[in-house]
């Protein structure tokens, strides 16, 4: 009788400990919603006058800019006639977008990138970290050197390049291919992430997209793919959307690129 009672007590103890370990294991493996990555805020957008529009990353719809909104990676801000907007970054760098200006905000490592698609802006303050650069028509200029660079482009005898689509060069297939090749490492990073999930997987992906006159990519799609992982495709899209071709005259260019991963 006593032995049976002891056996039952030991059984209950083992069951209790087993349930406890399972519960602890579940809690440790459960994603912590508080630590999930959130869109990185780079600063603040302040509407000073008129109407302006804002498009967030991965959002196809553009909405009218409120008086004040957070500034995030891959935000597209566009001012219209008689409108002005101020962008204030965390290091107190401030720029003021003039009317009919469009910029895209990106970040590469510790450098904040202002991609100028059209129009112009003025610099209110340079901030404390000097980690802001301007990307314009395939060129990258540190913000501290921007005004000097603009002045040099508009000196007598030199063709000004600060119109919305000032380049008269055509965008050849060779230039497109070479530009894609310069971002090969970033596409491979997407593939390496896929290999961690599915070791040994390989195949080719054909991507179709349009290059707008300002050099930016639009309407990226997967024309064909042997690799069907959705997160892998999303990673490819993100790399492609960040590629900046040289601005050109003429109609937008629709093209396809094959990517082999093995």
Per-residue pLDDT band at 257 (split at 50, 70, 90):
confident
Q: Please check the confidence at residue 45 and state whether its pLDDT lies above 90.
A: yes
pLDDT for residue 134:
87
Q: Which CATH class is domain 173-261?
A: alpha beta
Q: How far apart are alpha carbons 142 and 134 in whole angstroms?
A: 6
Task: Give the DSSP per-residue string, 89-133.
Answer: ETTSEEEEE-TT-EEEEEEETTEEEEEEEES-EEEEEE-SS--EE
Closest CA to 176 of 109, 245, 223, 122: 245
For the residues 96-111, what does the mean pLDDT come to? Answer: 84
Confidence band (pLDDT; 50, 70, 90) for 150?
Answer: confident
What confidence tier does 153 reach under pLDDT thresholds 50, 70, 90? confident
The ranges assigned to domains in the chain are 1-33, 41-153, 173-261
110-138 pLDDT tens trace:
788 888 878 889 999 988 777 888 877 65
Q: Mean pLDDT throughout 210-226?
A: 82
Task: Kindly write down the DSSP assignment for every residue of 143-175, as one continuous string.
Answer: HHHHHHHHHHHTSTTS----STT-------HHH
Chain-wide mean pLDDT for the chain?
77
Place 7 in a pLDDT band, splitting at 50, 70 and 90.
Answer: low
- How sure is the predictor about 27, in pLDDT bands with cuts at 50, 70 and 90? very low
**What are the residues whose beta carbons fall under 8 Å from the beta carbon of 189, sequence distance 6 or more?**
235, 239
Query: Cα separations (Å) of 213 from 61, 106, 118?
Result: 21, 20, 11
pLDDT of residue 190: 92
Predicted local confidence at residue 106, as pLDDT:
81
Per-range mean pLDDT, top range of 30-44, 58-72, 226-240, 242-256: 226-240
CA distance 118 to 107: 19
pLDDT at 60: 54
């Amino acid at each position: 009788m006593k032995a049976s009672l002891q056996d039952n007590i030991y059984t209950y103890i083992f069951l209790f400990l087993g349930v406890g370990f399972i519960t602890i294991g579940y809690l440790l493996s459960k994603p912590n919603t508080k630590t999930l990555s959130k869109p990185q805020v780079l600063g603040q957008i302040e509407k000073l006058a008129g109407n302006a529009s804002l498009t967030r990353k991965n959002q196809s719809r553009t909405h009218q800019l409120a008086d004040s909104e957070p500034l995030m990676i891959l935000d597209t801000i566009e001012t219209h006639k008689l409108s002005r907007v101020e962008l204030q970054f965390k290091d107190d760098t401030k720029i003021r977008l003039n009317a009919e200006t469009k910029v895209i905000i990106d970040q590469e490592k510790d450098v904040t990138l202002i991609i100028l698609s059209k129009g112009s802006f003025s610099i209110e303050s340079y901030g404390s970290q000097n980690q802001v650069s301007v990307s314009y028509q395939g060129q990258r200029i540190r913000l501290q050197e921007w005004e000097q660079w603009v002045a040099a482009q508009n000196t007598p005898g030199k063709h000004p390049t600060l119109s919305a689509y000032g380049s008269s060069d055509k965008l050849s297939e060779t230039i497109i291919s070479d530009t894609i090749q310069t971002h090969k490492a970033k596409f491979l990073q997407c593939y390496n992430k896929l290999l961690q999930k599915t070791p040994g997987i390989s195949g080719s992906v054909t991507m179709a997209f349009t290059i707008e006159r300002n050099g930016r990519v639009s309407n990226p799609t997967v024309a064909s793919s042997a690799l069907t992982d959705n997160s892998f495709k999303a990673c490819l899209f993100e790399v492609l959307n960040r590629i900046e071709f040289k601005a050109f005259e003429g109609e937008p260019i629709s093209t396809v690129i094959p990517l082999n991963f093995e």
